[in-house]
């Protein structure tokens, strides 16, 4: 919080003794937070669907889990992308990293009989290496991260295709479910939590049954837990630790930060490694969930992550933003992406619908934020 | 596409005895195929573009009519007792997939809808579940490729609903073959790509040696894979034939 409020222009009032030690009321502080706009956008989109999808199953427990799951997977990479963007850099290789990480998990496990935990560790190690290379290249060359990571967008996707074609002759590797039994590490990325609670609720008749006659919701998918957990940790790091301040400082003005002793290079390298790790978490969740890996997985996810972060109120130029905002951005994305199926709109218009809704959400965010700034 | 254009152009310039080309894009490849046939090079198109290749002088097409295959899938589903169905299109704008879906919708004569999704498996799975919860009378699901088939199968298995629906897909993968063998999936449509590679080479060989060539297009698909022949197909696919 500290670096945020200090970067805002303080109100100019000559009567007050010193504006810097003036106490800011809570509501004014809340209004100047970057996630405020995203919250307003979320409310707007929710309101739209409550009207447009009324009488459908969208806001039943099953419908909610349905769109939350889509939001959660995006939210996991959006959290990391938000930290990196606040730190002043982009990572366009996230989507390709998802594809590569999936292949790195599936091939050793399915083709070479590795235990899954070892394959997952291999994927995380490779991700760490990729993030480290990305960060170092950006630091050493001074090139925009946009270009460096765009190179890795192609390299990593190409590696995923090349490696899996070379070793298996295919681009899709299935049969992972058979390797998941009894693997404690893989269990972290699969299944549902609170299943007992939900079956109890179903037994009480609180949850309806679906088209197949099963209780609509059997538990909370683990991806949602990861999403909320990562968002909470990222928010804590940003607002309550020195490292969080370093991130804001590196993105705000790297030179000034360096001069005041912030290890800008190390901060950026660690942030690039975090985005690659988040892509690997995404890949683990999806591979364990679907039971297969595919070289095409994660296509365009880097852009979706950036969209979610920007909807969440972060600045593309760095130094400003929040993890909660990114989570709300991902939520809006999930709501819109799944919501169309309940509105009865012909799905030929799916992408138009998605684009228009996202644009409206961003415009509304922007409008609300401006209003909030004026309110001072 | 521009890369393929260059490669085909180079192939034509080397003045071969015959040209086999996958005619994926009329605008990009039409001119080059015309040039080849003008120079007396016999051209056989494979896999896609069968409906337009002749305009540019191609001798014949070896492949599957996607539209016809979609229509036959619809007919087969109706024979199995499906009244209403949905076609999951994971890549709108891909000509081949759109034709498959159009044929399917036509075959169902207004009783089927298209469900457009993205590539993402979680989004595909959740879209299918959301759609079925809203359309409780739909009993048949067709996916247009392996990418969408596996998430759809997963949704059905999670709900224990594989027997409740008639499930079908285009194209084969190990997971799909397994599902067919177990009876989770009802049929898969194979365009028998092995034949698309094998036959045109035979034809051109005959043409070069003796001037012999079949008079019409050769439809290599749809070949239907069901529970009965799944085991055999699994064996052949391990040898790379299917």
Q: Measured between CB atoms, does A69 come within 8 Å of chain B?
A: yes
Distance from CA of B17 to the nearest CA of A (A): 31
Whether residue B48 is found in the same domain as residue B116: no
Which backbone phi and psi does B111 adopt, to 5 degrees? -100, 15
The answer to whether position B237 is within a domain reads no
Asked if B160's CB is within 8 angstroms of A214's CB, the reply is yes
Provide the pLDDT confidence category of residue A8 given band limits of 50, 70 and 90.
Answer: very low
Q: Is the pLDDT of residue B137 over 60?
A: yes
Question: Across chain A, what does the average pLDDT equal?
Answer: 87
What are B's interface residues with A at a Cβ cutoff of 8 A? Answer: 89, 92, 114-123, 125-127, 129-134, 136, 146-147, 150-151, 154, 159-161, 164, 173-175, 240
Whether residue B60 is found in the same domain as residue B74: no
- The better pLDDT of the pair A158, B193 is held by A158
Identify the CATH number of the domain in which residue B60 sits. 3.40.50.2300
Q: Is the pLDDT of residue A85 over 90?
A: yes
- Give the tens place of pLDDT for each residue, A47-63: 999 998 888 878 888 88
pLDDT recorded at residue A101 = 97
Whether residue B71 is found in the same domain as residue B186: yes
Tell me the chain A residues in contact with residue B131 when contact means C-beta distances shorter than 8 Å: 341
Asked if B160's CB is within 8 angstroms of A57's CB, the reply is no
CA-CA distances (angstroms) from residue A40 to A74, A79, A365, A367? 20, 19, 6, 10
pLDDT recorded at residue A213 = 63
Q: Which helix (H) or strand (E) holds A106?
A: helix A94-106
- Give the tens place of pLDDT for each residue, B56-92: 888 899 988 889 999 999 999 999 999 999 999 998 8
> Which residues constitute the domain of residue B94?
66-190
Provide the pLDDT confidence category of residue B125 given band limits of 50, 70 and 90.
Answer: very high
CA-CA distances (angstroms) from residue A112 to A107, A167, A174, A292? 7, 10, 13, 15
> Could you tell me which chain A residue has the CA closest to the CA of B165?
A212
- Give the tens place of pLDDT for each residue, A170-225: 888 888 888 888 888 888 898 888 877 777 777 776 666 666 666 667 788 999 99
Distance from CA of A54 to the nearest CA of B (A): 12
B118 closest CA partner among A48, A298, A318, A134 = A298
The answer to whether position B119 is within a domain reads yes
pLDDT recorded at residue A6 = 46
3-state secondary structure of A172: strand
Q: Is the pLDDT of residue A249 over 70?
A: yes
Which member of B114, B122, B134 has the closest CB to residue A341?
B134
Whether residue B107 is found in the same domain as residue B52: no
Mean pLDDT of A123-139: 96
- Give the tens place of pLDDT for each residue, B14-32: 888 899 998 878 888 888 8
The answer to whether position B183 is within a domain reads yes
Q: Measured between CB atoms, does A128 come within 8 Å of chain B?
A: no
Provide the pLDDT confidence category of residue A138 given band limits of 50, 70 and 90.
Answer: very high
Asked if B160's CB is within 8 angstroms of A172's CB, the reply is no
Whether residue B93 is found in the same domain as residue B178: yes
Q: Is the pLDDT of residue B5 over 80?
A: yes
pLDDT recorded at residue A163 = 95
Is the peptide bond prior to A100 cis by the omega test (within 30 degrees of 0)?
no
Asked if A211's CB is within 8 angstroms of B161's CB, the reply is yes
Asked if A214's CB is within 8 angstroms of B159's CB, the reply is yes
Whether residue B80 is found in the same domain as residue B117: yes
Q: Is the pLDDT of residue A282 over 90?
A: yes
pLDDT recorded at residue A214 = 66
Whether residue B118 is found in the same domain as residue B178: yes
pLDDT recorded at residue A5 = 45
Whether residue B81 is found in the same domain as residue B183: yes
Handedness of CA B101, B103, B104, B108 (dihedral sign): positive
Percent over 90 (pLDDT), chain A: 55
Q: Is the pLDDT of residue A3 over 70?
A: no
Question: Model ipTM?
Answer: 0.76
Q: Give me the architecture of the A35-47+57-374 domain, per CATH.
A: Orthogonal Bundle (1.10)
Q: Is the pLDDT of residue A19 over 80?
A: no
Whether residue B13 is found in the same domain as residue B103: no
Angle of helix A61-86 relative to helix A323-343, nearest 10 degrees? 140
Distance from CA of A80 to the nearest CA of B (A): 20
Provide the pLDDT confidence category of residue A144 given band limits of 50, 70 and 90.
Answer: very high
Going from N- to C-terminal start, the domains of chain A cover 35-47+57-374
The answer to whether position B214 is within a domain reads yes
Q: Is the pLDDT of residue A150 over 50?
A: yes
Q: Is the pLDDT of residue A12 over 60?
A: no
Per the CB < 8 A criterion, the answer to whether B129 and A221 are in contact is no
pLDDT recorded at residue B106 = 95
The answer to whether position B238 is within a domain reads no
Q: What total of structural domains would you count in chain B?
A: 2
Whether residue B109 is found in the same domain as residue B172: yes
- Give the tens place of pLDDT for each residue, A157-178: 999 999 999 998 888 888 888 8
- The better pLDDT of the pair A365, B166 is held by B166
> Could you tell me which chain B residue has the CA closest to the CA of A67?
B126
Asked if A350's CB is within 8 angstroms of B92's CB, the reply is yes
pLDDT recorded at residue B179 = 92
Q: Is the pLDDT of residue A91 over 90?
A: yes
The answer to whether position B111 is within a domain reads yes
Asked if B150's CB is within 8 angstroms of A347's CB, the reply is no
């Amino acid at each position: 919080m500290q670096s945020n409020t200090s970067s805002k222009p303080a109100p100019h009032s000559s009567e007050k003794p010193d504006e810097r030690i003036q106490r800011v009321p809570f509501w004014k502080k809340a209004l100047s937070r970057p996630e405020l706009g995203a919250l307003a956008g979320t409310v707007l989109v929710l309101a739209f669907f409550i009207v447009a999808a009324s009488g459908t199953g969208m806001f039943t427990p099953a419908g909610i889990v349905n769109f939350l799951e889509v939001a959660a997977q995006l939210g996991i990479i959006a959290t990391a992308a938000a930290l990196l963007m606040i730190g002043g850099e982009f990572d366009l290789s996230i989507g390709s990293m998802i594809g590569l990480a999936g292949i790195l998990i599936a091939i050793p496990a399915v083709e070479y009989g590795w235990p899954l935990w070892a394959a997952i560790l291999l994927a995380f190690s490779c991700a760490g290496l990729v993030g480290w290379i990305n960060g170092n290249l950006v630091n050493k060359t001074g090139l925009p991260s946009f270009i460096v990571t765009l190179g890795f967008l192609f390299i990593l996707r190409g590696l995923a295709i090349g490696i899996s074609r070379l070793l298996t002759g295919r681009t899709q590797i299935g049969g992972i479910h058979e390797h998941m039994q009894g693997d404690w590490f893989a269990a972290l990325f699969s299944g549902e939590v609170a299943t007992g609670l939900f079956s109890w609720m179903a037994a009480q008749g609180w949850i309806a049954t679906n088209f197949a006659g099963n209780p609509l919701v059997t538990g909370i998918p683990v991806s949602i837990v990861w999403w909320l957990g990562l968002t909470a940790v990222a928010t804590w790091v940003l607002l309550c630790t020195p490292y969080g301040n370093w991130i804001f400082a590196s993105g705000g003005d790297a030179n000034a930060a360096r001069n005041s002793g912030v290890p800008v290079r190390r901060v950026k390298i660690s942030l690039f490694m975090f985005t690659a790790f988040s892509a690997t978490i995404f890949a683990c969740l999806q591979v364990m969930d679907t039971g297969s890996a595919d070289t095409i997985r994660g296509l365009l996810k880097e852009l979706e992550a950036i969209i979610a972060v920007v909807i969440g109120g972060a600045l593309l130029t760095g130094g400003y933003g929040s993890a909660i905002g990114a989570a709300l951005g991902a939520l809006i994305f999930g709501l819109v992406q799944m919501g169309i199926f309940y509105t009865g709109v012909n799905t030929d218009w799916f992408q138009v619908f998605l684009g228009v809704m996202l644009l409206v959400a961003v415009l509304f965010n922007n409008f609300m934020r401006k209003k909030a700034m004026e309110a001072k | 596409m521009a890369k393929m254009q260059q490669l085909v152009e180079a192939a034509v310039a080397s003045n071969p005895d015959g040209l086999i080309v996958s005619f994926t894009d009329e605008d990009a490849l039409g001119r080059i195929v015309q040039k080849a046939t003008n120079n007396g090079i016999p051209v056989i198109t494979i896999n896609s573009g069968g409906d337009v290749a002749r305009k540019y002088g191609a001798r014949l097409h070896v492949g599957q009519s996607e539209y016809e295959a979609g229509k036959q899938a619809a007919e087969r589903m109706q024979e199995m007792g499906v009244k209403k169905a949905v076609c999951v299109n994971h890549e709108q704008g891909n000509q081949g997939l759109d034709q498959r879906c159009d044929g399917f919708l036509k075959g169902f004569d207004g009783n089927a809808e298209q469900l457009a999704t993205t590539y993402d498996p979680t989004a595909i799975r959740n879209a299918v579940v959301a759609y079925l919860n809203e359309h409780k009378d739909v009993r048949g699901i067709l996916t247009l490729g392996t990418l969408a088939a596996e998430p759809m199968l997963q949704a059905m298995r999670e709900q224990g609903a594989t027997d409740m629906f008639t499930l079908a897909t285009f194209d084969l993968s190990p997971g799909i073959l397994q599902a067919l063998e177990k009876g989770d999936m009802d049929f898969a449509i194979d365009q028998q790509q092995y034949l698309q590679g094998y036959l045109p080479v035979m034809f051109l060989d005959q043409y070069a040696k003796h001037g012999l060539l079949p008079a019409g297009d050769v439809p290599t698909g749809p070949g239907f894979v069901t529970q009965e022949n799944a085991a055999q197909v699994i064996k052949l696919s391990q040898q790379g034939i299917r």
